[in-house]
Structure formats: structure tokens, C-alpha cells
Structure 1
Amino acid sequence: MRLRPLVVLLALFATACGGSTDSGADTPSSASGDSAGVVTVDTRFGPVQVEGTPKRVVALGWSDAEAALALGVQPVGVSDWMAFGGKGVGPWAESLYTETPQILGTMELDYEAVAALQPDLILNTRSDNDQAKHDKLSQIAPTIGAPKDVVTYGTTWQQQIEMVGKALGKDAEAKKITEDLNAKFAANKKFDGKSAVVGSYFDGKFGAYVSGDARVDFLKAIGFTPKAEVESLATGTFFVDVSAEQLNLFDADFTVIFPIGADTAPIKQHPVLSGIPSAKDGRMLVMEDKTLVSAFSSGSTLGVAHALDKAVPQFQEILKVG
């Protein structure tokens, strides 16, 4: 399956991921330290050593900037994957910046611009897993790539915060963030036994996310079960195209769908999609709040926490779950 470039840019995440990962069920990437002030973070590209406490951090991976901000570190340069503008992070995280970072490229990266920021650490934990790109970045500064055995843009929020925390010398803070967010998921686990499908509409086409994507893993962590027929279409990626003839695949106990780069009218007015049982029965949520769509898709600890607060009440209202 060939992913369209903008779908890759705007589709978590994810979360998206190296297979399904429920909240609290991850085996985080391993890392170790020594008494000389050097930590070693294991990545898919091999072990990466980080000396001392990084002061100038460049965050290139999907939501890496938000992971650093959650740990109290302000990156000097960020890749704005979700086109937030401004400081390159979601509105739930902007206030954690006191100075505006330099916005860098995403798919097309300007290595000279990265080098000009004189980083002592580069974060690229949720990315395209490209070896050549990693090698170029590593010539500039120690670069923390994705953990082993994850698909493109597949690092989970648990793996990301653990790796970033280790690289920044903030293991305890990262562990506390993980524990708190796991507890928040547990408190919102209200949908056991219900099936779910999450999808998007882009450029006149529909697609669905599968386990390993941040949105699907979010739903799993609050009790939903991904629809088996959609899961069976996965081919080592987090997203599958759904043709007009397959739109019945979106039918489940609960359906979540949102537009990318468009309004919701084509979704709401689609003659086939509006006729599936979950749509006719009022069990389909078409997400219209762009901030909520971004938080739901972010795969960052800060964005996910925001989505739990704002999305779960909507899910409960639609499904009449207390």
C-alpha cells in the first residue's frame, strides 16, 4: 500500500507503531547510564550515547517537541508535523514555551538549518525510520531515533517519553508522566466489549487506522476492540485505504471519523457512509473540532491527556455509557 504524503504527515499516531500497544502494556525501549555522566539510549540504529545534560535540543520527530516540553525542556528547533504554526506544538502545549523555537522542515529537512542551531541533542523518535537521514543527523549531534521493531511513525507515546526522558537525564520525570497518564486511561476505561473503527477522509478518499496507530491504541486503552475486518487489512503500516465499495467496513459499535484538510460536509453527506448502521443509529462521531482532532492524533502525552478530557465525554454521550 502506498501512503499519500499528506496522510503520512497528518496521520499519529502513530501513533500510531510496531504492533498493538495498549496503555500500560508497552515494553519501553531500553537505556542505561554510567557514573561518568553518559547515558546510552538503544534505538533501531544502535546505541546512542548522550553526554552531560543537553542544553540545545532540536525536536524533529512527530510530537518529540511536546515530549521534551512535558519534561520541562524547550527545544530550540522543531518540525511542525501537524501544521500548528506558531511554536509548532498543539495549543495544549504552547504555554510551556517562553521563547518561540525555529520551525524546521518535516519530510524535506534542511540539514544546514538544523546544524546552524548548534544542537547538542536531536530527537527523532517518531519518524520515517530512514537510515540515511539518521546518519546525516548523527554527524550534527547525538540523534535519538525510533526504538527497534516499530513501523514508520510508529513509536508509542510510552516509548517516546521514556526515550526522551532518558536522553535528557529526566528518567524519574518521564516515569511519573507515564504512570499518571496510564492512571488517566484506566479511569476512562468505560467501553469494554464494544468494537470501534477510526478513519479519516482526505483528498476525496477514505482510510482507516489500525493497531499501532495512536488513535486506535487510544481507543483500545479505554476498552474498545478494533474491528477485526479492518485489522486484517494491515500490511505493516498504521493506515489502510478504504475504497467506496468498502465503506461498510466503517460500521462498528462505534465509528470515529474526521477530515484532513477539508470540512466535514463530504463525510456527513456521503450517501454510502451515511447509510451504514452506526451512522443511521447515531453511533458515528464525525469530529469537527480541529484542536480535538489534533490532540486525538498527536500521540504525545500532553495531547493524549487533552483528548481524554475532551473526547471521552463525547464518546459516552453517543454510546450512552456512564
Structure 2
Amino acid sequence: MSRLLSLALLALVMAAGPVLSDQITLRHGLGETTLDPAGVQRIVSVGYHEQDFLYALGLAPVGVHDWFGDRPYATWPWAEAARASLNATPEVQKGMEIDVEWVWSMEPDLIIATFAPLDPQTYAQLSQIAPVIGPPDGYPRWGAPWDVELRLIGQATGRAAQADAVIGQLQSRIEAAAQAHPQFRGHGGTAASYADGQIIGYPSRDGANRLLEALGLQSPAAFDDLAGDRGNFMVSPERLDLFDLDVVLWQVDAPSRAMIEALPSWRATRMAQEGRAIWTDAEMIGAMSFQSPLSIGWALERLILQLDAALDGDPATATDLPR
């Protein structure tokens, strides 16, 4: 009888279908991905800054994608302590595009591509390797806020509670900084850069401009129109006037700064006459570009010092960070 009972129970289980794991389905900008967060062991980050988000959640990726800076493990100073605490020594993919064969060689069970050069064809190829989490749904390319991105990664990795905690702590710091500096409110400000003889501007959805807005500064509405659905726009140096705001965060190296200050129209700007230009060093360029939960926290106090100097009404106040 016991054998017959066992066979009957087995038949009931088979009729009910396979035993389900704790799978979830997440929607992102390139579709829907179903996965079991509890089964995630080997994470590969193919985007430009996602390693920071993983480290902030206490996760060690086995592979990451280097953006710029050529730092060991593609890790900048703000994330180094978190990486070291996890003993993370990820393999690093160089080059701007995603190397699908390299990703395959990493044998991942989850691919994070929330801020990546990801098109539908590459997404389909990566999805043959492992579940892929693309950019947050409902935002232009490169345009999702850092907290939305972190929540999506947290859900995919079973770290939703940790993500909420990180977001709450960092948002509280930003809000406290804004309240402590009411003099920032109502001023116009933006991030800008310079390359190939052109000035590069950014829309309000850019990460650096979002942070400036959280501190009370407003990016010109015209910049959204100029950028359209792109992540930035370029204008000739003759349109330097577009950037003559209450404060401009120039994310440029020393040679580019020299080129900007050598422009015939530079001396007539408020940036030159009233000391409203902030010139970032290499690490601040990296931090403001990454706009990750770790880089924002690292850059916040430095940015506050520079904004305070640029907006104090005294052109003699240096906006450079002290060495």
C-alpha cells in the first residue's frame, strides 16, 4: 500500500506542474525579465557605473565594464572601501561597447545593464547567456534617476530593503545640505564640458543637473529642448552665452579649461567677471559623471564648498578645491 500511495502522490505532484521557485518578473526599458533573486551568485555588470550600485548593496560582481579613468577593478576612490570590504576582484572589460563573448566567458547568472550601451540586438544576445536587467522603464536613455536604478537592481538581487535604506540615507543627506544652504535656491546652474572644440551641455535629467536641482539650482529649460532624446547636446564656442548662468560646473581637464578661458567672449561673461565657474578635478569629474549612490555621497561636501564659493558674490573667492 505504501508504494501505491507514493505513486499516487507523485502523480498528483506531476499533474500540478513543476515546483515553482521564488521567481519574480521585472519590467525594464527593453522588456521583462523573470528570475529568482535567491539563485543569483555570479553578477556581471556591463554598464558604465553599475559596479558602484552593486557595492552599495553589499554585492561583489565577478565582471565589470570600465568606463573611463583606467582605475584598478574599474573602481574609483568613493567605491574602493566598499569593494575592498567585499574582497571583490572583478574581471574588467575594456572598450565602450559590450563584449558579448567576454560576458559569456564570465558564466554569469545575472547581467546588470541599467546604464549600458544596450540595443535590442545586444539585449537579445545577452539574454541567451543569463537574465538581463536593462535600464529602468519609462525614462530616456541614460536618463533614469540613481534611486530608481538602485531600486531596480535591488529587486533583481533580492536586496530591495538594502536599496531602500541606502536611498533613504543619501536623500536625507542631500535634503539636509539643501536646507543648510538656502542661498542656493532660485539660482540658475548647470553642468557642462568641452570636447573637440565644442561646448557640451546637458538636459535637466542629467545626473549632475539632478543633483544641482536637489540643492536648489535650476538648469535652463532650453537645454532639454536642445538635447531632445539624447543625453547631451553640443554647440560651438560662439554660444558660450548659453552657459553664462549663476554657476556652471565645468567637467573638464586643464587643457580644456585653458581653451575655454582663451575664448574671445570669455572675459565678458559673469563666469569670468564674478567667479561663477567651478572647475572640477579628475576625481570630481568621475564622481559627477558616475552619479551613483557612492559617488554622490563622496562628492556632496566637495560640491557644497564649490557652490558656496561660486555663489558668494565675491569674484576673488576661489572655487577650486583645496589641495
TM range (shorter): 0.7 to 0.9
What is the SS of the residue equivalent to 1:65? helix
Match of 2:74 in 1: 88
Match of 1:16 in 2: none
Equivalent of 1:47, from 24, 32, 35?
A: 32
Please say if 1:253 is aligned against 2:225.
no
User: Which structure would you say has the larger Rg?
Assistant: 2
TM-fit CA distance, 1:252: 0.8
- The residue type equivalent to 2:293 in the other structure is T
Match of 1:8 in 2: none
Equivalent of 2:274, from 270, 281, 289?
A: 281
- The residue type equivalent to 2:229 in the other structure is G
Please say if 1:242 is aligned against 2:235.
yes
Match of 1:59 in 2: 45
Cα distance, 1:195–1:148 mapped onto 2, change above 3 Å: same
Question: Using the alignment, how far apart are the partners of 1:37 and 1:260 within structure 2?
Answer: 49
Cα distance, 1:262–1:140 mapped onto 2, change above 3 Å: farther
Identity %: 30
Question: Using the alignment, how far apart are the partners of 1:178 and 1:312 within structure 2?
Answer: 20
Match of 1:184 in 2: 173
- The residue type equivalent to 1:86 in the other structure is P
**Bigger CA drift: 187-196 or 225-234?**
225-234
Any gaps of 5 or more consecutive residues in structure 1?
Answer: 1-34
Please say if 1:195 is aligned against 2:181.
no
What is the SS of the residue equivalent to 1:255? strand
Question: Using the alignment, how far apart are the partners of 2:289 and 2:267 within structure 1?
Answer: 23
Q: How many residues align?
A: 286
Cα distance, 1:251–1:150 mapped onto 2, change above 3 Å: same
TM-score (normalised: structure 2): 0.83
Cα distance, 1:104–1:254 mapped onto 2, change above 3 Å: same
1:63-74 → structure 2 map (5 Å cutoff): 63-74=49-60
Equivalent of 2:290, from 292, 298, 302?
A: 298
User: Is the Cα contact below 8 Å between 1:259 and 1:267 reproduced in 2?
Assistant: no
Question: Using the alignment, how far apart are the partners of 1:141 and 1:135 within structure 2?
Answer: 10
Report 1 or 2 for greater relative contact order, CA contacts < 8 Å, sequence distance ≥ 6.
1
1:73-112 → structure 2 map (5 Å cutoff): 73-97=59-83, 98-112=87-101
User: Is the Cα contact below 8 Å between 2:253 and 2:282 reproduced in 1?
Assistant: no
Please say if 1:124 is aligned against 2:113.
yes
Any gaps of 5 or more consecutive residues in structure 2?
Answer: 1-19, 314-323
TM-fit CA distance, 1:154: 2.2
User: Is the Cα contact below 8 Å between 1:86 and 1:100 reproduced in 2?
Assistant: no
Cα distance, 1:121–1:36 mapped onto 2, change above 3 Å: same
- The residue type equivalent to 1:308 in the other structure is L
Question: Using the alignment, how far apart are the partners of 1:100 and 1:299 within structure 2?
Answer: 22
RMSD (Å), alpha carbons? 1.9
User: Is the Cα contact below 8 Å between 1:122 and 1:143 reproduced in 2?
Assistant: yes
TM-score (normalised: structure 1): 0.84
Equivalent of 2:221, from 222, 228, 231?
A: 228
